[in-house]
Amino acid sequence: MKRLSLLMVDYSSLLLAAALSGTCLSITMFAIWFSAPQARFVLTVACGILVLVAHVVLFWHYARHPSPWLCQIVLALLSLGFLTLCLSAMQYLGVRDYRRAILPTVAAMAVCAGATSLGLDGVGFIVTYATVTALLSLIGVMFWIKGGHDRRILLVVSFLSGVCALSFGLCGAVLLVEGQWVLGVAPDNWAERLNSAVAVACMTGLGALTLSLHHLQAQIELKAETMTDPLTGLMNRRALTAFYGEQVFGPFMSVAMFDLDHFKKTNDVFGHPVGDQVLRRFAAVIRKYSRTGVDAFRLGGEEFVLVMSRMTEEKAYDIASKISVAFGTEVVATQLGPLRSTVSGGIGFGATDGTSLDNVLAEADAALYAAKRAGRNRVVAHNKASKADAPALRSA
């Protein structure tokens, strides 16, 4: 009898430890969110943990004073808490189809409520444990498959989610195997005690990892800001150097440089706001051709660069020409009437034995100035076989 009492004390201690740990984590998350409101997934995590804390406190009370209504509330809070944590994982990973988690969980909660109202509280616990197991498994799978930043942190999240899912699954399996369809009290077995210990450890670990993920996301966003041109949203010169500064440019790589024709005159006549609009319009045109192997950058002012990989010289020239033609059809409305602008382009190519970004940029720049001398509003490709003083050029 004394041993049973000691076990109950230990069980109660685990529940209270879980509630205290969860409360501290939730407060920390709320504090982080107040200082960084854009980190909405942190707020969702804080709300989810707070719901689970309420579940633990009420479960502790239910273990001493069981009642059917309290049982329903306890089980609903458990499912709702882990559903909220699952939604926070979707927010962080950019998974927008929330229905895949919400609809099955709501359906399971309805089944649980129906079974519990009929006196089958054991069935209610089994259904809820199965729901939580599924939600935690979904979290683990999403971080395993979709995570693309620091794999070490994401794999630990997957592992902890999996361990926690297994512990809840064991709780449901014990009730199912023993056929405990009607309990009348809170379930108390080896799986429940194991689950309490595992849940405290895993939730504490997941809370700490959430802080790491927030820090990681903040670093990624800061890096993105430093490598993004604020006016056009394209990558900037720093990004070009970071991504291609050490790249060896082979025969199927090329760089196209673009320079908006008479852009200074556009600013002088129509004003800088119109000039900015023209720059954004060209960025929109060049962005249409950005895809895997084609990256667009704004170097500054009216200068843009397109890096093209895994394509022939003819294909690269075709893309650059299409950009030039497409931009020539763009019309910007101004107070002085509609404004059409043109762009000149020059293309430099990689070498069979490999060459550097600087060399290809120099070739593209030379071809660009040749396009300007030829009358602008055209694309010129550098000819490696030509002499420097008499280049053989192709023009649009």
- Band (pLDDT 50/70/90 cuts) for residue 86 is very high
Q: What pLDDT, on the 0 to 100 scale, is given for residue 384?
A: 41
Mean per-residue pLDDT, 52-63: 89
Give catalytic residues, as residue numbers: 302
Picking from 156, 364, 188, 181, the residue whose alpha carbon sits closest to that of residue 259 is: 364
Mean pLDDT value across the chain: 85
Of 51, 18, 77, 61, the closest CA to residue 186 belongs to 61
Cα–Cα distance measured from residue 11 to residue 142, given in angstroms and rounded to the nearest whole number: 32
Q: Residue 214's pLDDT band (boundaries 50, 70, 90)?
A: low
Q: By the 8 A CB rule, do 341 and 330 touch?
A: yes
pLDDT at 1: 39
Q: Mean pLDDT over residues 10-29, rounded?
A: 75
Instruction: Please tell me the distance from the alpha carbon of residue 171 to that of residue 150, in angstroms, as a whole number.
Output: 33
Range of weakest confidence among 1-5, 54-58, 153-157, 254-258: 1-5
Mean pLDDT on 122-139 = 94
Q: In what order do the strands lie in the sheet with 235-236?
A: 235-236, 294-300, 303-309, 253-260, 343-349, 379-381, 394-395
What's the mean pLDDT in 123-146? 91
Give pLDDT, residue 270. 92
Looking at residues 281-297, what average pLDDT do you find?
A: 89
pLDDT of residue 386: 37
Task: Report the pLDDT value the prediction gives residue 387, as an integer from 0 to 100.
Answer: 34
pLDDT at position 138? 92
Query: What is the pLDDT confidence band of residue 148, given thresholds at 50, 70 and 90?
Result: low
CA dihedral 160, 165, 170, 176 (to 10 degrees): 180
pLDDT of residue 392: 35
Among 149-153, 274-278, 331-335, the minimum mean pLDDT is found in 149-153
Q: Residue 230 pLDDT > 70, yes or no?
A: yes
- 209/157 Cα distance (integer angstroms): 7
pLDDT of residue 7: 40
pLDDT in tens, 102-117: 999 999 999 999 999 9
Q: Is 379 helix (H, G, I), strand (E, B) or coil?
A: strand
Q: How confident is the model at residue 92 (pLDDT cuts 50, 70, 90)?
A: confident
High-pLDDT (> 90) share of the chain, %: 51
| Confidence band for 176, pLDDT divided at 50, 70 and 90 | very high
SS3 186: coil
Which of 91-95, 196-200, 260-264 is the least confident region? 196-200
Q: What are phi and psi of 312, to 5 degrees?
A: -75, 165
Confidence of residue 21 (pLDDT cuts 50, 70, 90): confident
Q: Which residue has the higher pLDDT, 340 or 193?
A: 340
At 225, the pLDDT band (50, 70, 90 cuts) reads low
Interatomic CA distance for residues 2 and 189, integer angstroms: 17
Quickly state the pLDDT bin for 125 (edges 50, 70, 90). very high
Q: Which helix (H) or strand (E) holds 53?
A: helix 40-64
Q: What's the rounded mean pLDDT across residues 7-15? A: 58
pLDDT confidence of residue 194: 86
Q: Does residue 391 contact residue 364 with C-beta atoms inside 8 Å? A: no
Taking CA 156 as the corner, what is the angle to CA 75 and CA 191, rounded to the nearest 5 degrees? 40
Residue recorded with tokens 């404004």: 339
pLDDT higher than threshold 70 for residue 355: yes
pLDDT, residue 3, reads 42
Beta strand pairing status for 294-300 and 235-236? parallel
Closest CA to 235 of 327, 298, 307: 298
Handedness of CA 195, 197, 202, 203 (dihedral sign): positive
What is the pLDDT at residue 29? 78
Rounded average pLDDT over 310-318 = 91
Share of the chain above pLDDT 70, in %: 87
Q: Please check whether residue 12 is in contact with residue 60, taking contact to mean a CB–CB distance below 8 angstroms.
A: yes
The answer, yes or no, to whether residue 8 has pLDDT greater than 80, is: no
Q: What is the pLDDT of residue 249?
A: 95
For position 366, what pLDDT does the model report? 93
